[in-house]
Structure 1
């Protein structure tokens, strides 16, 4: 198993980009693959990480960055899963929104068409992304939309990774359909992603963030906290 320090020597401009949860992301230049991101998954054996990588490796989605390589590295004596992935030359949709760079109606239609095509491809593979939001969308320099992070994706027909008795399903408040945050597993399908892409498109056009079912979310979160105390 290769040491992380030796692994980095294969790349130019190996620079940290972000860290969240159990994942560290770097940007780098590869003589073999070009501009890439390298992702380190510190929780080896985590089924969600393994599912995310399996989807990226084995499904040929047009609007998802390609995975070039995956394997294990030794970091401070620990076995760590890594992937080398295509780096999209563009900008996160969230950054565009924060810069007040909103979409006109023509741009919104083009954006939505790409989102619907992506969801159609997912549906054919029985996959629900479940985390479509501006933070997980990159628009490249040619206006092509890429969708990131299958960390909480659901593969219909495979065992669920969420406890059935959980009050909430994995979700991002404001972008998740009601069947998702209510953990109604049997009701989750491609319509769940259609809900999310609709919310994102609305935000990009109106310059406003809406929180669907905000009162219900607030009440359920209050009940959850009271049960925990």
Structure 2
């Protein structure tokens, strides 16, 4: 059964949020696209365009029904055969697809809620994805190409098999609910090694003048061989050029619980690699403690927490964690970018030092 893209997860765009809420109601049989357009006539052209994209990729039929019977080989986008849905996020849906021209399987991200009416913006979308294609590192998911087919924007990427860190966190959370939270040295060392590898991969991207802006557990895949790979660099931002970001000026990009204070406060144009360090620190904190450093029942409350509240010392949650690790994590989570690690490589080095019981460079 087709599922609605979670377009509201990583954007403040009103149209995307309304469309995502509508799709949830539509799947429950409680809404029609005509009703949505009648309630919000100012957005009807955009909604019809996005609806057409779902028809194009086979999510729904032309009659407005869920595409329940379409076989995997009948769903196409240009030269790509859409085999199955493998993920969804703030910008759209990701499919396992077959590139029939190059005869390889790829992860194809379809950006349902992206405006292609502006030729300049579409060209910028393609150029920014091409910038991400410069990345060549085993810990970074390769971007092959980006384009627009039948008014549907897409990004073709390396297909990485494995499980996300979000999956691992859920598994650990389920196990700890019966056994209690307590970190074994083996688990700690494995986690620290993985975190170090992620930070080193992130540094490689930063050295190529790209920041990710949406580091979170669901955007990090762990392969069957245990190698972490950062996903979704297709909408990374170029630090070295004069291109503006794909999101509108002042618009927040990222997943709220993992955003840095500068992202939350809308300092879009001044972001640098230290915003990714904060998000990675949040991810590692959650991986080790099974709690996020900043939590609140509403998005507004979460924003206030990120901007004004200090995270709890992770040792208050799990006293078995080393004291130096607390210092490392809290340094990465400092609200002032100037007091965080200057580079992801510095972060990686201190994670290594904790793992091998060497003195860390950060100071409380």
TM-score (ref. length: structure 1): 0.73
Matched, 1:41 2:149: no
Instruction: Quote the offset at 1:93 in angstroms.
Output: 1.2
Partner of 1:195: 278
Change (3 A) 1:35 1:218: same
Partner of 2:233: 150
Q: Helix, strand or coil for the counterpart of 1:116? A: helix
Instruction: Quote the offset at 1:85 in angstroms.
Output: 2.3
Match of 1:16 among 85, 107, 110: 85
Match of 2:244 among 160, 165, 170: 160
Q: Helix, strand or coil for the counterpart of 1:113? A: helix
Matched, 1:86 2:169: no
CA separation in 1, counterparts of 2:133 and 2:215?
A: 20
Instruction: Quote the offset at 1:145 in angstroms.
Output: 1.0
Structure with higher Rg: it is 2
TM-score (ref. length: structure 2): 0.49
Match of 1:26 among 95, 112, 134: 95
Ranges of 4+ aligned residues in structure 1 off by more than 6 Å: 8-13
- Determine if contact 1:33/1:68 at 8 Å carries over to the other structure: no
- The structure richer in strand per residue is 1
- Determine if contact 1:66/1:85 at 8 Å carries over to the other structure: yes
Match of 1:61 among 132, 137, 140: 137
CA separation in 2, counterparts of 1:57 and 1:154?
A: 12
- Determine if contact 1:52/1:149 at 8 Å carries over to the other structure: no
- Determine if contact 2:129/2:235 at 8 Å carries over to the other structure: no
Q: Which runs of 5+ in 2 are unaligned?
A: 1-55, 58-73, 176-182, 308-364
Change (3 A) 1:177 1:51: farther
Instruction: Quote the offset at 1:133 in angstroms.
Output: 0.3
Shifted more, 61-70 versus 40-49: the winner is: 40-49
Question: Which structure carries more relative contact order (alpha carbon 8 Å, separation 6+)?
Answer: 1
Q: Which runs of 5+ in 1 are unaligned?
A: 222-229
Instruction: Quote the offset at 1:159 in angstroms.
Output: 3.6
Q: How many residues align?
A: 213
Partner of 1:97: 169
Partner of 2:356: none
Partner of 1:226: none
Match of 2:202 among 119, 139, 142: 119
Q: CA RMSD in A?
A: 3.6
- The structure richer in helix per residue is 2
- Determine if contact 1:126/1:155 at 8 Å carries over to the other structure: yes
Matched, 1:174 2:260: no
Q: Helix, strand or coil for the counterpart of 1:99? A: helix
Partner of 2:304: 218
Q: Helix, strand or coil for the counterpart of 1:211? A: coil
